[in-house]
Structure 1
Amino acid sequence: MIEVAKRLQNVEEYYFSKKLREVNVLKSQGKPIINLGIGSPDLHPPEAVLNALVETFEDETAHKYQGYQGIPELREAIADFYKTHFQVSVSPHTEVLPLMGSKEGILHISMAFLNPGDEALIPNPGYPTYQSVTNLVGAVPVFYDLTQDSNWCPDFVALEKRGVENVKIMWVNYPHMPTGEKGSVKLYEDLIRFGKRHNILIINDNPYSFVLNRFPRSILKYKGAKDVCLELNSLSKTFNMAGWRVGMLLGKHEYINAVLRVKSNMDSGMFLGIQKGAIEALKCSDMWFTSLNNVYDQRRQIVWKIADVLKCTYNKSATGLFVWAKLPEHIKAEPYIDLILKEKSIFITPGTIFGSNGEGYIRISLCASIDQLEEALERLT
């Protein structure tokens, strides 16, 4: 048996990759599983997106390699989108980099900026990929606490007291997954000041900005942000295009160029039809967001009832594709959701997969139909 690379010693298979195998086994045994664990949108993309994809098949260049930076029209559409919805001005030529999903960007940013031994600040709770990628590149994950008492925001005093001399980058994610906490103007300004004080690159991962959120924000809007910040975004949640794998990275030219040096050695460009579809998505009017959020709001009303039945507490002002709910005292998240899966055939995500501060919480997805959610509620009642 050939020994695997040492970098894998601290990297486990992604939780959902393992758990979905278990769920699929149960399905194959005839169990009527309702999946409320995954944030994979079940709604369709805008019709114009699908039409653009089909029309591309007639383009004689469609099946050739595409540029590593995406076609100019896509970069311009991303820049226009940020100008319209975030009041952020970026150059489509030098400050925008389309990605094959924002998850790809997490790896490429880490490869571009982290040396072995460098520290990366990672939210707890937070997206597990930040830790996995940090380990893959040989850097050191340093977790900073987010708690309900602090409205799921960083404690900068505690971080500075701990010491950040070896910290190179800081991952932040607002609107926050899994809690749904929105980023305030003060939070963004504090992050920028923190990054400047300690020469730390702040990366805001921002794919949930339009889901049940009336006031979408970008960290790049605030003074001095481009000096120390990058922002990731994605079409997966906003336009129901998770399987299309379209993301974007925005920020200062020098930072974008560093990531491009990695990316251009890792892929050969995005399929033209997907890029054309992405352009149409980015042109959608506000009516698209209103319609989408009407559906999610109806679903969330039922999910709140599910949380009530489970005797959980939750924040009704939170945003995003999930309801983050606090379990009754002394109930452990993972054994509890395993019991629900076994007895009720409902899969809910335990908060512990997002970090130790997720203990005592569960995350319920809105990516299920009204019928499925009502059926789940009935099973639990």
Structure 2
Amino acid sequence: MIEVANRLHTVEEYYFSKKLREVNLLIANGKPIINLGIGSPDMQPPQKVIDAIANSFSNPNAHKYQSYQGLPELRDAMAAFYKEHFKVPLSPTSEILPLMGSKEGIMHISMAYLNEGDAVLIPNPGYPTYESVTKLVGAKSVFYELDEANNWAPDLKALSKMDLRKVKLMWVNYPHMPTGAQPSKFLFEELVAFAKKHNILVVNDNPYSFILNNSPKSILSVKGAKDVCLELNSLSKTFNMAGWRVGMVVGDSKHISNILKVKSNMDSGMFYGIQKGAIEALKCSSMWFSTLNSVYQQRRDLVWKLAEALGCSYDKEATGLFVWAKLPAHLKSEEFIDSVLKNNHIFITPGTIFGSKGEGYIRFSLCASTDVLEEALSRVI
């Protein structure tokens, strides 16, 4: 028997990878399962995006290796997008690195900056990949707890009292996933000040800015943020392009250069046609966001009713692709969702997969049609 690397003993298979096997087995056995667990957009990208990838196939460069840094016109489009929507100026030649989905950026950034034994500040609740990648590179996860009473924002004063000498990286994620909490007016400013004081690289993972949110924000809009901050972004949710795998990391040129050293040794650049489609997506007018969000608003209204029918409460000010709902007192997240799956044939995500502070909460995805959501509601009421 050939032994696996020690790093594999520190991580488990991704929750959805395991749970969806169970869900798919139920479906195969004839159970009419409604999946409200995954945030995989079910609507189409803009038509001009689909046309762009289709038209790209005849280009003589389409099937060649592509630049590790992406097409210049893609980086130009990303820079224009940040300038228009976040009021953040970026150099397309040195401060933007296209990614094959922002998820790979978590690994690239971690490999570029973390040595074995370094510490990483990770939100609880938060995206599970922050912890798993930290383990894979041999660094130590240091969880900072988020609480509903504080609008799911970190207590930076409490963190400053800790011994942070080994902390090199801090993951933040606003608008927050899974809770949908928006950053306060001053949170990003306080994070930049905290990063400078403690010499920590703060990375804001920002793929949900445009979903049911009229005020998208970037941490890089704060003066001096580029010195100590990076931001990840993605076209997956904003333009219904999750399967296309298009993301970006933006920030100061020295950080981008360091990440490129990792990325250029791990892939050979994004497919030409996908880049051409991404360029068209980034040029979409405000009408696209309005149309997209009108659909999500109708869906969210139904999910709110579903949450109420299940005895849950929720925050109407939250944004994003999910509804984060609080269970009645004393109920356990995983037991609750298993009961709903068994009795109502509805799959909902338990809050515990996002950390211990997710206990007592569940998360609904808005990636289902109104007809499907009405059917789910009818099974509960």
TM range (shorter): over 0.9
Query: What is the SS of the residue equivalent to 2:186?
Result: helix
Q: Distance in 2 between matches of 1:61 and 1:6?
A: 42
Cα distance in structure 2, aligned partners of 1:266 and 1:95: 20
Q: Match of 2:365?
A: 365
Q: What is the 5 A alignment of 1:92-107?
A: 92-107=92-107
Identify the residue that residue 2 of structure 1 maps to in structure 2.
2
Distance, in Å, in 1 between the alignment partners of 2:233 and 2:327 is: 31
Offset at residue 301 of structure 1 (A): 0.3
Q: Percent identity?
A: 69
Deviates further, 21-30 or 158-167: 158-167
Distance 1:108 1:5 in 2: 19
Aligned 1:88-167 pairs, distance under 5 A: 88-167=88-167
> 1:8: Cα distance to partner?
1.1
Rounded to whole Å, the distance in 1 between the matches of 2:301 and 2:219 is 30
- Give 2:72's aligned residue: 72
Q: In the alignment, what sits opposite 1:51?
A: 51
Name 1:190's counterpart in structure 2. Answer: 190
Secondary structure (helix, strand or coil) at the match of 1:220 reads helix
Counterpart position of 1:181: 181
1:184, distance to aligned residue in structure 2 (A): 2.2
Q: For residues 338-379 of structure 1, what are the alpha-carbon distances to aligned partners after superposition, in whole Å with 9 as ceiling and x for unaligned?
A: 011111110000000000000000000000000110000000
2:61 alignment counterpart: 61
> Where do 5+ consecutive residues of structure 2 fail to align?
none
Q: Which stretch of structure 1 is more off in the superposition, 1-10 or 252-261?
A: 1-10
* Aligned positions of 1:176-325 closer than 5 A: 176-325=176-325
Q: Which amino acid aligns with 1:304?
A: W
For 1:60-102, what per-residue CA distance to the aligned partner results, in whole angstroms no more than 9, with x for missing partners? 1100000000000000000000000000000000000000000
Taking the aligned partners of 1:101 and 1:220, their CA distance within structure 2 comes to 20
CA distance in 2, matches of 1:2, 1:326: 45
Letter in 1 for 2:266: M
1:74 & 1:289 partners in 2: Cα distance?
20
Normalization by structure 2: what TM-score? 1.00
Question: Which SS does the other structure have where 1:185 is aligned?
Answer: coil
Moved over 6 A (4+): none
The unaligned stretches of length 5 or more in structure 1 are: none
The CA deviation string for residues 18-49 of structure 1, in whole angstroms up to 9 with x for no partner, is 00000000000000010000000000000000
Corresponding residue for 1:375? 375
Letter in 2 for 1:23: V
Q: Does 44-53 or 154-163 show the bigger shift?
A: 154-163
In the aligned structure 1, how far is the partner of 2:358 from the partner of 2:184? 22
Deviation at 1:218, TM superposition (A): 0.4
Alignment-derived partner of residue 19 in structure 2: 19
1:248-304 superposed Cα distances (whole Å, 9 cap, x missing partner): 000000000000000000000100000000000000000000000000000000000
| SS of alignment partner, residue 267 of structure 1 | coil
**Shift of the alpha carbon at 1:162?**
2.1
Residue number in structure 2 paired with 1:329 = 329
Give the Cα–Cα distance (whole angstroms) in 1 for the partners of residues 311 and 47 of structure 2: 40
1:87 and 2:84 are equivalent in the alignment: no
Q: Which amino acid aligns with 2:270?
A: M
* CA root-mean-square deviation: 0.5
- How far apart are the structure 2 equivalents of 1:217 and 1:279? 21
Letter in 2 for 1:204: N
Distance (Å, rounded) in 1 between the aligned partners of 2:43 and 2:143: 35
2:70 match: secondary structure: coil
Q: Report the Cα offset of residue 185 of structure 1.
A: 2.7
What do the CA deviations read for 1:205-257 (whole angstroms, capped 9, x no partner)?
Answer: 00000000000000001111000000000000000000000000000000000
**In the alignment, residue 309 of structure 1 is paired with which amino acid?**
A
How far does residue 9 in structure 1 lie from its aligned partner after superposition?
1.3
SS class of match (2:319): coil
Cα drift, residue 189 of structure 1? 0.2
Q: 1: CA distance between counterparts of 2:140 and 2:13?
A: 19
Could you tell me how far apart the structure 1 residues matched to 2:257 and 2:32 are? 49
Give the counterpart letter for 1:86 in structure 2.
Answer: F
The amino acid of 1:359's aligned partner reads E
